[in-house]
Amino acid sequence: MALINKIREKSGVAVTVIAISLILFMVGGDLLGPNSLLGGNDNQIVGEIAGKEINIKDFQSRVDGFRQNYEAQSGRSLNEGELASLRDQAWNQFVVDIAYKKQYDKLGLEVTDEELYDMVQGNHISPSILQAFSDPTTGRFDKNAVVNYLKNLKTLPLEQQKSWENFEKSLREERTRAKYENMLRLSTYTPKAQAEKEYVAQNTKANLRYLYVPYFSVVDTTIKVTDAQLEEYLSAHKKEYKGTDTRSIEYVTFPVQPAKDDSAALYNEIKELARGLATAQSDSAFAAMNTDIPTPINQSYATMSDQLKEAVKTFVPGGVYGPYREGNTYYIYKYGGTRSDSVSSAKASHILIRAENQSDSAKTAARVKAEGILAQIKAGANFEALAATSSADPGSAQRGGDLGYFQNNGAMVKPFEEAVFSASAPGLIPRLVESQFGFHIIKVTAPKSNTLYRIATIGKTIAPSQATRDEAYRRADEFANTVKSREQFEEAVKKNKALVLANANRIPESATNINAIQNAREIVRWAFKEDTKPSTVSPVFETEEQYVVAVLTGKSDAKDVKVDDFRDELTTKVRNQIKAEQISAKLKGATGSLEDIAKKYGAGALVESASDISLATGFLTSAGFDPIALGKAFGLKAGQKSGVFTGENGVFIMELVNKTDAPKIADFTQYKTQVTQSLESRMSYLVNEAIRENAKIEDRRAKFF
């Protein structure tokens, strides 16, 4: 203010100019931004639902309401990830208010004031009220607490009154949604013919022999796929390939890594801390005051880093050890010995086989598959390799099934936890373990232990100096200013051995991360700007502890699907079609036994058997679950061979050895219930998808946030 007063004394004109400049600086983003009125874009519509446009001001108002409630309850400000989640909640609320309400109104569904009263303080209390007004210690619900709260509501701050109003609104919406879904669920009907079909599929058994030539037996490089073939396939399967607005980029990163001077300064500091930790009267208090990374004083193997697991084996009570470096953090430890804990930890790996749905037939198919994999492992197959190729748990599958250390405190589902913690030695558990997630094949890699290690820990992270940051930015800026196209970009990376070229394909407009780059919204928004054309090089972006320079390599348009949008998928499909034609042509006209035909075909042809399988649970050894092959086989007569045909993953000739038809029964109630329950379990998801599709939702939030 003193500076502004001084300027005012010198020149009124100067004050006016500077004041205008300050105002434009402070609000320029709102007035002159890409989505502003003065910036040449009067489109303030954040989306459209069932023909109704959502204005950015209305949307932001709802987000602000959610934020106020959240911050009032949590007592802190939101981070960017939490704010993004609230925007999703606000958007979904608009979908309910507009798209769902249309359906409710057509059916005359509503929640009356009397019904709301009954939900809040009557005889049929809502689960949300039960949760909000239950004693956290005993878990008992106190209706009087609700009544007293409502009596005093008008004396509470306006924010709390507004929160209760929104809470009651959400109760009405939950109950209306439940009525709607229950109405549809109760309308689910399974005719007797469908129940009978399910019974026959589960209980008709067959013994099969088959010749199978998988697509992978033909080397990909021997098959040439042209763009014309891809275009023809895409044209014939347009409904299978829905377009989306995406962008593809290549990029390089310039990490802001601490320099040697930064590391040396911290190393000297932590050695001083080590001396203090050794003599401190309260090592836990000293560690808590000086660490950058809070760590519990008592640790189990389940909570230790890999480096500490090895180091602790050499620790002696009372000793100070370190520094140990993990990434950009130095650690020192003061060891205080061990004690037993009521909670145990163990380490295990698993292979998860999940049923396709909740029907008995699907569960049986999953069990058969899991038993087959377990048998392979018992016979000597590599557990890690099978986990990588067969497990339905993607997180652990890429680590060979490894789940790391965990405790017996409910971290894992009960059947899994009981199986692991009942094992007294490492090794394969010789039976399947079933949980709500599916069938688990488990290998215990470290049996249970309840030992706790008392370790006072100080961790100090190396922070790069400003000079280090400036140098990283200088290198990124120099790179960005010397390349003007994708070709120059890639050529510059080749010449600079310190740079690594990375790519990210089909990035959606709403993306917040790009590969391992967190908080990458600015890069995404740049890629989707109208003036960012393919081969455009970006400015320097700062994300976390690195600078990023990108080049746009491709676009996809939701309204104009091109081959390049799905090139890899289309190429695989067309290549397999060509392989199928080549394999079929080679097998066509072959006679004799399946072994004779396989011998004439040569390398790649497999002859296998399948015993006592059904249509519902049929699993072929090498081909897996192939409904086309099973359908062909069950349509044959005993001793009959099919012609050459294409299955899911290869070419077949099926032979039915014999078939035992399902016994005649009069009551199909059990199977009718199975089919009905399977449909009902998917009802909520299917209803949601149908309403959203019918509403023709256009979500343009990514252009604003």
Q: d(Cα 56, Cα 47) in Å, to the nearest integer?
A: 8
pLDDT band with cut points at 50, 70 and 90 for residue 441 = very high
Q: Please report, for residues 118, 136, 152, the alpha-carbon distance to residue 129 in angstroms, rounded to integers and kept in the order given.
A: 11, 13, 17
What's the whole-number mean pLDDT along residues 614-632? Answer: 90
Alpha-carbon distance of 449 to 339, in angstroms, equals 11
Contact yes or no for 609/207 (Cβ under 8 A): yes
Matching fold, domains 205-242+567-660 and 247-257+465-559: yes
Q: Which SS3 state, helix, strand or coil, does residue 189 take?
A: coil
Q: Could you give the angle at the alpha carbon of 689 between the alpha carbons of 684 and 695, nearest 5°?
A: 125
- 8 Å CB contact between 615 and 635: no
The confidence score (pLDDT) of residue 137 equals 67
Give the contacts of 387 (CB within 8 A, at least 6 positions apart).
349, 350, 351, 396, 397, 400, 401
Q: Give the per-residue pLDDT at 212.
A: 96
Helix (H) or strand (E) holding 261: helix 260-279
Q: What integer pLDDT is reported at residue 174 of this predicted model?
A: 87
- What pTM was estimated for this model as a whole? 0.59
pLDDT of residue 341: 83
Across 227-250, average pLDDT: 93
In contact, 408 and 414? CB cutoff 8 Å: no
Written as six digits, the tokens of 23 are 């105002």
Write phi, then psi, for 467 (nearest 5 degrees).
-65, -40
For the 247-257+465-559 domain, the top CATH level (class) is: alpha beta
pLDDT for residue 267: 82
Q: Does the pLDDT value for residue 438 go beyond 60?
A: yes
More confident residue, 81 or 562: 562
pLDDT reported for residue 57: 93
> What's the pLDDT score for residue 344?
86
Query: Taking all residues of the chain, what is their mean pLDDT, rounded to a whole number?
Result: 87
pLDDT surpassing 80 at residue 551: yes
Q: Tell me how far apart the alpha carbons of residues 346 and 407 are, in angstroms, rounded to a whole number.
A: 6
Q: Which residues make Cβ contacts (< 8 Å) with residue 236, sequence separation at least 6?
A: none
The confidence score (pLDDT) of residue 29 equals: 40
- DSSP readout, 401-452? TEEEEEETTTSS-HHHHHHHHT-SSSEE-SS-EEETTEEEEEEEEEEEEEEE
- The CATH code belonging to domain 258-463 is 3.10.50.40
| pLDDT greater than 80 at residue 516 | yes
Q: What is the pLDDT of residue 37?
A: 35
pLDDT tens per residue, range 300-341: 877 788 899 889 989 999 999 989 988 878 999 999 999 888
What's the mean pLDDT in 363-388?
A: 89
Q: Reply yes or no on whether the pLDDT at 26 is more than 60.
A: no
Q: Quick one: pLDDT band at residue 401, thresholds 50, 70, 90?
A: very high
Predicted confidence at residue 10, as pLDDT, reads 35
Q: How confident is the model at residue 411 (pLDDT cuts 50, 70, 90)?
A: confident
pLDDT of the residue at 73 = 65
Residues 186-194, mean pLDDT to the nearest whole number: 91
Which phi and psi angles does 270 have, rounded to 5°? Answer: -75, -25
Alpha helices per DSSP H over 33-126? 56-74, 80-95, 101-107, 113-121
Tokens of 285: 């208090």
> What does the pLDDT read at residue 318?
93
Q: How confident is the model at residue 618 (pLDDT cuts 50, 70, 90)?
A: confident
Q: Across 25-29, 96-100, 677-681, which has the greatest mean pLDDT?
A: 96-100
Nearest to 475 by CA among 549, 535, 407, 404: 549
Give the pLDDT band (50/70/90) at residue 490. Answer: very high
Q: List b or e across 612-623, with b for residues whose CB sees 16 or more CB atoms inside 10 angstroms.
A: ebbbbbbbbeeb
For residue 566, the 8-state DSSP code is G
Q: How far apart are CA 588 and CA 643, in angstroms?
A: 8
Which residue would you say has higher pLDDT here, 19 or 375? 375
pLDDT in tens, 106-116: 999 999 999 99
Q: Return the pLDDT at 32.
A: 40
Domain definitions of the chain by residue range? 1-42, 43-108+188-203+664-705, 111-169, 205-242+567-660, 247-257+465-559, 258-463
Give me the CATH code for the 205-242+567-660 domain, please.
3.10.50
Percent of the chain with pLDDT over 90: 52
| pLDDT attached to residue 337 | 94
